[in-house]
């Protein structure tokens, strides 16, 4: 096994350079199927890193609150595992990559009536239906948002305009929800479960909060910013597996092969990356590629991994020296 020693300033310099290089990139488009997202300033760009010892770096627009969108699938999958165990989530939802777009109905049919993973729309709606206490939308919402606040070490709040915009246009997700109901994969009221999913996607989050969430996963469940234990250590490799296998949807394999970084994207432009035992990273820039992954965010994260010679599959023992 390779031993690799990195200093904090090496990591900060790699991130600073990656941020500068990615800032100049053109290409991609804001998501426009949710009207609110189409109008966000496409030049916003932030990059945050939180190391497992709590050291953090922020570059650019890291205090801007953007729509968390699909990155919200990560904390709610963690909550479902906390409440029902990782095995319970495997049995009720599954852990298979779809290789298809995040909102694919075809994927549900191909998986033999199975939502397949909590990190695509179908599985995420199913995960919202699993959250306790069943039947109580307010208490479920509180459980979902308290968990996100614990993971971020600070509260997040709803972007009302985004929630409205998304609720008025989520016809595909309504179809997914009823199809899952037909296959007995919705474990509470279907439209309440969809509404919780839509609301969680409409939460505003900053890049630094997202990096704290990533670092909590990288630290095995203990938030390195607040010091609070948020989830059991056994959940960390499970959620990281889900992120690695499907975090970039139909580009997940190419992304992991190239970057070595398990990462989860959202159509708001956020990307959360987890390098277990080392760091959590997050980047945010609205223009997306054809799979819905932020162009600048992926470029920045890829460059950091390559400059530092890191990768989850590298079999490295990484030590960070002061």
Binding mask 166-185 for ligand GLN (x = CB under 6 A): x------x------------
- Residue 316's beta-bridge partner residues? 2
> Interaction with ligand GLN in 247-286: which residues (CB under 6 A)?
266-267
Q: Does 293 bind ligand GLN (CB under 6 A)?
A: no
Nearer to ligand GLN, 176 or 312 (CB): 176
**Cα dihedral sign, 171-173-176-181:** negative
**Alpha helix segments (H runs only) across the chain:** 8-23, 35-38, 73-92, 106-110, 121-130, 137-152, 160-167, 171-182, 190-201, 207-218, 235-246, 252-259, 295-308
By CB under 6 A, tell whether 123 contacts ligand GLN: no
Write down the least CB distance from residue 135 to ligand GLN, Å.
Answer: 23
Instruction: Count residues binding ligand GLN (CB under 6 A).
Output: 11
Q: How far is the CB of 68 from ligand GLN (least distance, A)?
A: 8
The reply to whether 201 sits near ligand GLN by the rule CB under 6 A is: yes
Strands 2-7 and 316-321: parallel
In the block, tokens 């306790």 appear at 132
> What minimum distance in Å lies between the beta carbon of 288 and ligand GLN?
9
Structure tokens belonging to residue 81:
């595992």
Query: Is 103 among the residues that bind ligand GLN (CB under 6 A)?
Result: yes
Rounded to whole angstroms, the Cα distance separating 31 from 28 reads 9
Return the number of the residue (6 or 119) whose C-beta is nearest ligand GLN: 119
- State phi, psi for 202 to the nearest 5 degrees: -95, 10
> Which residues contribute to the site for ligand GLN (CB under 6 A)?
69-70, 102-103, 121, 166, 173, 201, 266-267, 292
């Amino acid at each position: 096994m390779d031993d690799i020693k990195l200093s904090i300033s090496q990591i900060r310099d790699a991130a600073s350079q990656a941020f500068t290089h990615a800032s100049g990139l053109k290409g991609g488009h804001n998501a426009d199927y949710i009207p609110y997202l189409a109008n966000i300033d496409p030049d916003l760009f932030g990059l945050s890193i939180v190391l497992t010892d709590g050291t953090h770096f922020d570059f650019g627009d890291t205090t801007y609150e953007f729509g968390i969108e699909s990155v919200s699938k990560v904390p709610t999958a963690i909550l479902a595992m906390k409440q029902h165990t990782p095995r319970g989530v495997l049995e009720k939802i599954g852990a298979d990559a779809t290789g298809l777009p995040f909102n694919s109905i075809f994927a549900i049919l191909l998986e033999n009536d199975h939502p397949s993973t909590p990190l695509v729309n179908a599985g995420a709606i199913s995960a919202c239906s699993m959250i306790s206490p069943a039947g109580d939308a307010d208490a479920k919402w509180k459980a979902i948002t308290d968990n996100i606040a614990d993971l971020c070490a600070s509260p997040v709040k709803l972007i009302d305009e985004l929630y409205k915009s998304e609720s008025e246009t989520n016809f595909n997700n309504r179809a997914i929800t009823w199809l899952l109901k037909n296959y007995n994969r919705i474990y509470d009221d279907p439209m309440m479960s969809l509404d919780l999913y839509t609301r969680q996607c409409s939460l505003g989050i900053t890049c630094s909060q997202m990096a704290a969430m990533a670092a909590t996963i990288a630290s095995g469940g203990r938030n390195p910013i607040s010091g609070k234990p948020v989830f059991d250590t056994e959940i960390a490799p499970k959620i990281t597996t889900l992120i690695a296998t499907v975090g970039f949807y139909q580009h997940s394999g190419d992304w992991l092969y190239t970057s070595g970084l398990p990462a989860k994207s959202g159509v708001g432009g956020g990307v959360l990356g987890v390098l277990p035992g080392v760091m959590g990273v997050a980047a945010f820039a609205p223009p997306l590629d054809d799979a819905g992954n932020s162009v600048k965010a992926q470029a920045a994260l890829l460059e950091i991994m390559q400059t530092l010679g890191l990768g989850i599959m590298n079999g490295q023992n990484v030590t960070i020296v002061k």
